[in-house]
Structure 1
Amino acid sequence: MANLLQQFKSLLPDSPLLVGDVLSISNNILAIELPDGSQITAKGVATVGQRVFVRGGRIEGLAPTLAYVEVEI
């Protein structure tokens, strides 16, 4: 019989990959502004002004600086 907890976890979606600009750094915690204007915090390595990819509260890497376009469907 398979582990029921693992089966349940497989039903849940993964954390989304977000992109944002680093606003400030304090005690290795980065404040990041998302394109919609909201702010989140994350841990990782980046400098103020860089655009980064964030998933689950961790910096996954640098993101390219491109124009933000929102399309409603």
Structure 2
Amino acid sequence: MANLLKEFQSLLPDSPLLVGDVLSVTSNIATLELPDGAQITARGSATVGQRVFVRNGMVEGLAPPLTYVEVDV
């Protein structure tokens, strides 16, 4: 018999990988500004002014300083 919980979880999407600019850091918690202007907090090491990748509230690493472009399809 299949594990119903695992089957259900496989239907859910993975957490998205976001990119944001570090606005402030306090006690290893960074405040980030996303390209759409929203602000979130994430745990991890970062310094003010860096662009970082974040997923599930954790800083995953540095992101390249590329220009953000949004395209409607």
Q: Tell me if TM exceeds 0.5.
A: yes
Matched residue count: 73
Give RMSD over aligned pairs. Answer: 0.7
- Whether 1:57 and 2:39 are equivalent positions in the alignment is no
Determine the C-alpha separation between the residues in 2 that align with 1:60 and 1:2.
33
With normalisation by structure 1, the TM-score equals 0.95
Query: Could you say which residue in structure 2 is the equivalent of 1:2?
Result: 2
Once the two structures are superposed, what CA deviation does each residue of 1:10-65 show, in whole Å capped at 9, x if it has no partner?
10001101000000011211100001111011001111110000111011110000
Gaps of 5+ in 1: none
Gaps of 5+ in 2: none
Stretches (4+) displaced over 3 A: none
With normalisation by structure 2, the TM-score equals 0.95
Provide the secondary structure at the position in 2 that maps to 1:5: helix
